[in-house]
Amino acid sequence: MTFHDAAAREFPPFSTDACIKCTVCQTVCPVARVTDAFPGPKYVGPQAQRFRGPTHAEAIPDHTVDLCSGCGICTRACPAGVLIAETNNRARAAIVTSRGASIRNRLISDTDLLARLGVPLAPLANLGLRNRLARWMGEKVLGVHRRGPLASFARRTFASTWKRRGGLTALPAGADPARTVAYFHGCAVNGFEPGVGEDAVAVLERNGFTVIVPRQECCGLPFISNGLYDHARRKAQRNLASLAAFARAGVKIVGTSTSCTHALKAEYREMLDLDDADARAVADATWDICELLANLNDRGELDTRFGPMHEALPYHPPCQLKSHGIGTPAMDLFGLVPGLHAVDQDHDCCGAAGTYGLKAERWQIAQDVGAPLFAKVRAAAKAGARQAACDSETCRWQIEQSTGVRTRHPIEILAEAYRRADAPADPRWRRIV
Amino acid sequence: MARADVAVIGGGLAGLSCGVALAERGASVFVAAKGMAATHWTHGGLDVAAPSGATTAREGVARLAKDRSHPFGRLAPVMPSALDEHVTRLADAGLPYVGGLDTPLKPIPTAIGTLRPAGTLPIGQAALLEPWRGVGLLLVGFRRYRDAWPGLAAGNLRARRWPDGPARIEAIEVELPELAELHNLNALTLARHFDDPTWRRRALRAIADAIPPGAWRLGVPAVLGLADHRAALDEATAAFGAPPFEMVSVPPSVPGLRVYEALRRRLVKAGGRLQWGFPVVEVERDGDRITAIHTEGASRTLRIPADAFVLATGGIAGGGIRGAPDGTLIERVFGLPVAAPPRDAWFGDDPLTAAPLDGAGIATDDELRPADGPRNVRVIGSALSGMRYLDERCGDGVAIASAHRVAAALAGAGASVRQEASA
Amino acid sequence: MTRAPARSEVDVLVVGGGATGAGILRDLAMRGIAALLVERGDFASGTSGRYHGLLHSGGRYVESDPLSARHCAAENAILRRIAPAALELTGGYFVATPDDPDDYLERFPAACATAGIEAEPIPLAQLFATEPLLNRRIRAAYRVPDASLEPWELVDANLASAREHGADAWRYHELVGVERDAAGAIAAAHLHDHHTGERRTVACRAIVSAAGAWAGEVARVAGAQLTMSPGKGSMLVLSRRVTASVVNRLAPPGDGDIIVPVHTVCILGTTDITIPDPDEVRVTREEVDALLVDGERLVPGLGGARVLRAYAGARPLYDAADVQDAEHHEGSREISRAHHVIDHGRRDGIGGFWSIVGGKLTTYRLMAAQTVDRVAASLGVDAPCRTADEELPGPARGAHYWLGDRFAAHEATGGGDAELVCECEMVTRDRLAAALDERGDSSLDDLRRTTRLGMGPCQGAFCMVRATSLLAARHATGELPAGAPDPNHALLEFLAERTRGTHPIAWGDQLAELALTAGIFRGTLAVDGLRDPKATDGAG
C-alpha cells in the first residue's frame, strides 16, 4: 500500500485519484435512477472533486452533490476502489460550512434532542406525528415532509427502563469480558423502538452474554449525513470516551442499528478524522448484532433452538449494512429458524437514507427510489407475509410507512422464534405448525 | 461466514458464469466481487473468437488453439458445450442470442462507422446477422445525446468497402419527447425512459416519423430498455416495420448491463451468493493450498473459507492485475506471478495495433491451475495469459469456456476436493 | 478566422506563435507598427504550451541569476495586473527539505530582498495546515508571490490584443524563404500554409524570429547561422492538486524540485537535458524515475500518486559565445544573461532580421519590449512600449481564475452531463462550438489547448469521439474553412498523441485507464478501421 492509498483510506477525497472514469457507479446510483436533478456519483464524485480545492474555500462550486443520499452503493460498485459516497459527504460538509445548515437539518439530525423533547410528551407528540394538520405545519415551517417516515415516540426511553430495571452500566468486577457485551442502543431504540433493545438484550442473555448498557449518546451519524461534522464530532468524542474502556477490556460493543455500528466502525475515523487509539479500539470491538450471532453460529456457539415460524418474511438488507462488508448475516440466521422463509427482496435502496426521505424536497425522490421494493413487500404481504424485516431503523420506518406492512428488526424475529421455542404448548402456535 | 465449496473472486462475465454453473451443479458458491467492470464496458455481444482470417468462430477457436500457450490451447474442446450452456442460460433469463460457432462471421458496423466481425449477438443486435438484400442502413441518433454519432458513422461506413453490405447508408437525428430539458442525458437515462411504456410509444413514433421513404434497417443507440428490453425491441420492430439493431459506444454499455443482470439473477436463483463491494484483502494458506480469503469490512475483514478458489478478477483494465511503477505486474489477490514481456517492450508506437502487453496474464496448467501457484486455485477469464483478446476478439469465448471448464471440474470433484481439504 | 491572402504587406513579420512572439506582436501593434505573426503549428504549441505553468516570483533565480530574478519579480507584478484571466493566484512556497543545503537557506532571505522579492518566513505549522501532504521533515518555508499561469490563455489574449490594435496572426504557416533587397536587407518572406498547401508571400521590412528553441532553423531560412542548444525539460502531470500552492525547493535549481498547481492538476518538474533536435522531446522512463525520486523529497509517497501523463518542452537555450553581438551596444548591462536580442544586420549583414533567444515565459513581455525597442528604433519609430499599462482582453476583465470556476458555472445552470463533451475537464458543447467558431481549422489537439479537452484522467477516452462527431457535423455542412483537418484523421492523431504521453508513466490507475481506453477504441469501436477504409475488415 502506498502512501497515497493510505491517505485515500484516511481521507476519502484522495481516493478519487483512482477513478478510471468507467461509469460503473452511474449505473448503480438509485437517486440518479429516479431524478434528473442529481447528476450521479461519477459527476458529483471523482469528476467534481478535481475542481474542489482549498483555495477559494469561501466559494464552494457545488450544488448538485447535496442530493446524494449517501447510500454508498457507488462506493461498493467501483472497480477502482474510489470512496465516492464518502467524498460526496465531505463535499456536502463543505457546503454546510460555507453556506450554513437549515434549522430543519439541524433539528432532524439532533435525535438526542428530539428524544429528550418527545419522549416525556409522548402521547401528545405522537398525536402531533399522526396529526395531518401538525404534519402539514411541519412541512411548511420546517420542511419535514408531511408523509416523511417518522416513528412514534416511546413512552419511556430504553435507557431509563434499563436504569429502572437496575441493568448494568459498567463492567462488573470479575466479569468475563469475552462473554460480556456493551450494548449500543442508539437513539432509535432509546426514543422510538425500545422493544428492539429489549429483544436484543434477551437474545444476547440467552446466548450467555452479560449485557451492559454504557453511557452513550446519539452516534452522530445524522449530523454527518447532514454535513454538520462539528456537531457529530462532539457526539463521537463523548461516545469514544465512554466506550473505549470497554473495548480495551476486551468487551464487544454490539449494536442493533447498522447505522450506529457503522459510524463506530468507520465514519468516526473516515469522516470525522478521529483516528486515534480510542477510535481504533472502539472500531475493532464493534459488532452488528446479527454479525455477532452469525459469527457465534459459524463457531457452533449459538443457541439454535429456535421455535418454528412457518411464514414468508420479505427482508431488505439496508445500504448501511452492506457498507459493513459483512454480507447479510440476518439471512444466515433466518435460515436457522424452522419454517421461516426469508426472501431477500433484491432491491438496492429503500430511499430513506437516514434523514434524506424526511425532507420535504427529497421525499418524492426517496419514494421513487424505494418504489420497486415497496411493491415487492406489498405483494409478499398480499401473498400472506404478516411482516417484513430490515436491520436499519429509518429504512424500517420508510418501508412500513410506504407499504403499511409491519417491518421489524431481525433480532425481533429471532427473539420471537426463541419465545416460540420456549412456549411450544401455546395452542395458537401449535395450530400454525 | 459459513464455509463454501467454492469461492469465486470477481463478478464479471467469467466469474458470474462460473458461479452460476457451479450453483446449478449443486455446489455452494460465494462470489466475492470488488465491484463491477468489464460487463458494463463492452458491447454485450459474444466475441467467441474472430482472429484475422477466420470465417466462423469455430474456425477462430481452432486457429487460436494451435498456440498451446493460448487459453484455447486448453479450452477449445469445451467451447461448444460452454457456449451452448451460456446462451441457453441467458435465453432462460429472457436474453436470447442468435448465431453461434458455425455462423459465418459477418462485418457489423461500430458506432464510429468501422466494421468489426461478429457471429453471436444478443437479440437486440440480431438483425445484423441477416443479409442486407438491398435494404438501406439508417443510423439514428437522438438530439442532445452525446454518445451516438450517426453522421460520423454514416460518412465512414459509406467510405468503406463492405461486401454484401447495405444498399445505401444514411443518418438521421431525432428529437425525442421530454429530453430537451434534461440536465442528464446518457445511455442509462435513455434506457430507463425506454422502459416506460408510455414514453416509449411516443419516442418510437417520433423515430418512425423521421424515417425517409424506402426500405431501411435502423441502427439505434444501444438504449432500448434495461428492465423491459424485449418489449422495447418488439415495439420498435413493429413501429419501424423491421427489427432495428443496437449500437454500443462508450461505457456504460446497456447491453452489457443486461447480461450482468441476467447472470446475477440466475446466480441468486440457483442459490449462489454474490456480494460486491467485497475486495479480497487477505489470504489464508496452508502449505500449497488456500484455506480462506478475507474481504474488506468496515472494521474487520470477512473471512470466507472455501475448498476451492476461482480467480476471475480480470486483467489490467478490470483491476485483477496492477502495474507497479517499477514496471512489474502484480496479481492482486494471491500474488501469482504474471507472465508479461519486459517493461520496455510493453507498447508499440502505434496505439491502434496490438501491443505486446496485451498477452500479459497468469500462466496456468491444463486444469487452469496457476503455474507454481496454490493447488486449489483456478484462473479464468481475462486474467489468463497468452491471449490478445482485442485483436483476436476472443475475450468472451475464453471467459465462458474457462468458467465452464472450471465449474465442471470443481463441481464434479466437489466431494474429493472436500476430502482432500480435510485430510 | 479570415482566409489569409496570397500576398500581403506589413512592416514586421514575427515568426513563432509562443508567448514571446505573441508579446512582440502585441507590442509592435500597440506602437502602431503593422505586423503579422506566423506560426508553423498551433499557437503556443511549442515550448510555451509545454512548460510547467509557473509565473515565477523570481525566488528560483536569486542565487543563480539575480538579474533574471529581478526581472521575474517586476514582470510578475505587471502580469497580475494585465493578465488576470490567465492567472490563478495560488501563491508559492520555498521549502527547505532535509536534503537541501544550509547555506542556501541562510542566504535566501537576503538574496530575495536584494532582488525585490517578497519572501515571508512561514511557521511550519501554518505550512502543513495549508499543504498537508508536504514532507513533515521540511525545516523552513518562505511564502513568495508565485502563481499559476495558463500559457494558452496568455498567448490567446496577447494575440487578441494585437488584433485589436490592427495586427494579425496566422497559425500553421511556416517561414520557408526570404527575399532580400540589393543591400541584403529583408524585403519579403515566403510562407507555406500547412493546411492548404498554398504558398504565400508577405512583403516586410523586418523579420523577428521568436521561434525559441527553433530559432536556429528560422535563422537558416533567413540565411544566417545560429546555434541553439535546446534543453529538454520533462514534466509529470499529477492527477490532482497535490499542493494548493506552488512549492519550490530551497536549493539551486534541479530535477524534481517544483510542483505547480495548474487548473485541475499539478505539474511536477523539471529535468534538463541538452538535446540536438527540439522536436525530439520524448520523455524517458529514467527521467520519470528521477522526477519522482526528487519529488518524494517534497511530497513523500509521490511515487505512488496517480500520474496522468508525461510531457516535455524544449528550452530555448543558446550557445552564449554564438550570440555575442560583435559590439556592446548601450545599456547592455540591462540585458540579462537569460535572454538575448540578436541584430542579424550587424552580426550577419542581414538587415532587418532579428532573433530573440533564451528567456522564460514569466519575462515574455519584457523580452518583447526589449526586442521591439530595437526593432522599432531601426524602423524609425519612437513610440514607447505600453504593454504594461493596458489589461489584456479576456473572459472576465480583472478577475483571476480559480480552480472551481468552470465547475461552479456549470453547477449554477443545474449541472448534469448532457452538455458535457469532456467530463474530466467539464468542457461543454457550447465551449467547443465557440472554439470552433473562432478557429474552424482546429485539430482535436488544438481544441485541447483552447478548451482543455481530453486533459483529464481518461486522456480523451470518453470525449474524443464526441468531439470528433462535432467536427464531422461541421465538416458535413461545409462550415469549416479550407484546410480544416479531416475528422477521422484528427481523431487518430489525438488518440495517438494522448496515448503516447501515458506510456512513460504506465502503471497503477493510469495503466488500467490505458487498458480501458484500448478496450473502447480497439474493441468496441474497432477504430483501426478508420485508417484504411478500403481494407475489408470485419470478417474474413
* pLDDT value at residue A270: 87
Low-confidence winner among A34-43, A140-149, B199-208, B275-284 (lowest mean pLDDT): A140-149
Q: What is the pLDDT of residue A431?
A: 40
Which of A17, A21, A39 is opposite residue C306, by nearest beta carbon?
A17
Percent of chain C at pLDDT > 70 equals 94
Q: Which of residues 298-327 of A touch B (CB under 8 A)?
A: 298, 322-327
Collapse the DSSP code of C3 into the 3-class scheme (helix H, G, I; strand E, B; otherwise coil) and give the result. Answer: coil
pLDDT at C335: 41
3-state helix, strand, coil in chain B (%, to 5): 35, 20, 40
Q: Is the pLDDT of residue A119 over 90?
A: no
Contacting B residues, span 170-189, partner chain C, CB-CB under 8 Å: 182-186
pLDDT at C463: 97
All three cell numbers of C426, joined, read: 467539464
In whole angstroms, give the CA distance from residue A125 to residue A114: 10
Q: Is the pLDDT of residue C538 over 60?
A: no
Q: Give the pLDDT of residue C533.
A: 67
- Chain C residues lying within 8 Å of B316, measured CB to CB: 511-512, 514-515
Number of Cβ pairs < 8 A linking chain A and chain B:
96
Q: Taking 80 as the threshold, does the pLDDT of residue A427 lie above it?
A: no
Q: Which of A3, A19, A50 to mutate to test the interface with C (most CBs of C within 10 A)?
A: A50
Give the Cβ contact number of residue A128 at 10 Å: 17
Are the beta carbons of B207 and B232 closer than 8 angstroms?
no
Average pLDDT of span C17-45: 98
A57 touches chain C (CB under 8 A): no
Please give the DSSP secondary-structure letter assigned to residue C391.
Answer: P
CB contact under 8 A, B322 and C528: no
* Interface contact A39-B34, CB threshold 8 A: no
B107-118 mean pLDDT: 96
pLDDT at C327 over 50: no
B251 interfaces chain C, CB cutoff of 8 Å: yes
Residue numbers in A near C240 (CB within 8 A): 14, 16-17, 49-50
Query: What is the nearest CA distance from C390 to chain A, expressed in angstroms?
Result: 27
A426 pLDDT higher than 60: no
Q: What is the pLDDT of residue A133?
A: 76
Under the banding of pLDDT at 50, 70 and 90, the label for residue B2 is confident
Residues of chain C with C-beta less than 8 angstroms from the C-beta of A60: 404
Predicted pLDDT at B270: 95
**Residue A5's pLDDT is what?**
53
Residues A1-22, mean pLDDT to the nearest whole number = 71
Q: Does B324 touch chain A (CB under 8 A)?
A: no
Query: What is the nearest CA distance from A68 to chain C, expressed in angstroms?
Result: 13
**Contact of C448 with C455, CB cutoff 8 Å:** yes
CB contact under 8 A, B325 and C292: yes
A56-65, B197-206, B339-348, B398-407: least confidently modelled range: A56-65
- For C508-521, what is each residue's pLDDT tens digit? 999 999 999 999 99
Model confidence pLDDT, tens digit, residues A208-258? 999 999 999 999 999 999 889 999 999 999 999 999 999 999 999 999 999
Q: How far is A120 from chain B (nearest CA, A)?
A: 36
Q: What is the mean pLDDT of residues B395-404?
A: 98
For the entire predicted model, the pTM comes to 0.94
**Segment A149-178 mean pLDDT:** 90
Average pLDDT score over residue span B104-122: 96
pLDDT band per the 50, 70, 90 thresholds, residue B421: very low
Task: Select the residue of A23, A78, A344 nearest B251 (Cβ to Cβ).
Answer: A23
Closest chain B CA to residue C503: B347
Residue A6's pLDDT band (boundaries 50, 70, 90)?
Answer: low
Is the pLDDT assigned to residue B415 strictly greater than 50?
no
Residue of B nearest to A64 (CA): B183
Q: Do A327 and B302 touch (CB under 8 A)?
A: yes
Which amino acid is present at C64?
S
% of chain B with per-residue pLDDT over 70: 97
pLDDT tops 80 at residue C206: yes
Please check whether residue C453 touches B, CB under 8 A: no
Are C465 and B327 within 8 A, CB to CB? Answer: no
Q: Is the pLDDT of residue A154 over 80?
A: yes
From B40, B298, B318, residue closest to A325, measured CB to CB = B298
Cβ contact B33:B45 at 8 Å? no
Read off the C-alpha cell for C349: 549583414
Residue of A nearest to C509 (CA): A18
B180: number of Cβ within 10 Å: 11
Is A99 at the interface with chain C, CB within 8 A?
Answer: no
Grid cell digits, residue B177: 419527447
Q: Nearest CA to CA, how far is A284 from chain B (Å)?
A: 6
Mean pLDDT score across all residues of chain B? 94
- pLDDT given at position C460: 96
Q: Does C331 touch chain B (CB under 8 A)?
A: no
- Tell me if C529 and B114 make a contact (CB, 8 A cut-off): yes
- Nearest-Cα distance to chain A for B15, in Å, is 14
- Residues 159-218 on C with a CB inside 8 Å of B are none
Residue B416 has pLDDT above 70, yes or no: no
Confidence of residue C301 (pLDDT cuts 50, 70, 90): confident
| CB neighbourhood size of A220 (10 A) | 29
- Position B366, amino acid: D
Cβ density class C95-104: b for 16+ within 10 Å, e for less: bbbeebeeeb
pLDDT band at C395 (very low <50, low <70, confident <90, very high): confident
Of all residues in chain B, the one with the smallest CA distance to C519 is B390
Kindly provide the b/e burial profile for residues A7-25, where b requires at least 16 CB atoms within 10 angstroms of the residue's own CB: bbbebbbbbbbbbbbbbbb
What percentage of chain A exceeds 70 in pLDDT? 94
Distances (CA, A) of C406 to A65, C409, C413: 16, 5, 11
Quick one: pLDDT at residue A354? 83
Name every chain B residue with its beta carbon within 8 A of the beta carbon of A40: 184
Burial class (CB in 10 A: 0-12, 13-18, 19+), A193: buried
Residue C1 pLDDT greater than 50, yes or no: no
pLDDT for res B241: 96
Hey, of B390, B394, B396, B398, which one would you mutate to test binding to chain C, going by the most C CBs within 10 A of its CB?
Answer: B390
Average pLDDT, chain A: 90
b/e B395-418 (16+ beta carbons within 10 angstroms → b): bbbbbbbbbbbbbbbbbeebeebe
The pLDDT value recorded for residue A126 is 79
- pLDDT value of position C325: 53
Chain B contacts in chain C segment 466-525 (CB below 8 A):
466, 468-469, 472-473, 476, 487-488, 492, 495-496, 499-500, 503, 506-508, 511-512, 514-516, 518-525
Q: What span, in angstroms and rounded, lies between the C-alpha atoms of B236 and B241? A: 8
**What average pLDDT score do residues A269-287 get?**
94
DSSP class of residue C523 equals I
A327 vs B36: CB contact, 8 Å cut-off? no
Q: Do C506 and B323 touch (CB under 8 A)?
A: yes
Query: What's the pLDDT tens digit per position in A290-310?
Result: 999 999 999 999 999 999 999
Q: What is the pLDDT of residue C329?
A: 41
pLDDT in tens, C344-361: 999 999 999 999 999 999
- Evaluate the omega torsion of the peptide bond into residue B213 and state whether it is cis, within 30 degrees of 0: no
Chain C within 8 Å of B146 (Cβ-Cβ)?
Answer: yes
Q: Does A286 touch chain B (CB under 8 A)?
A: yes
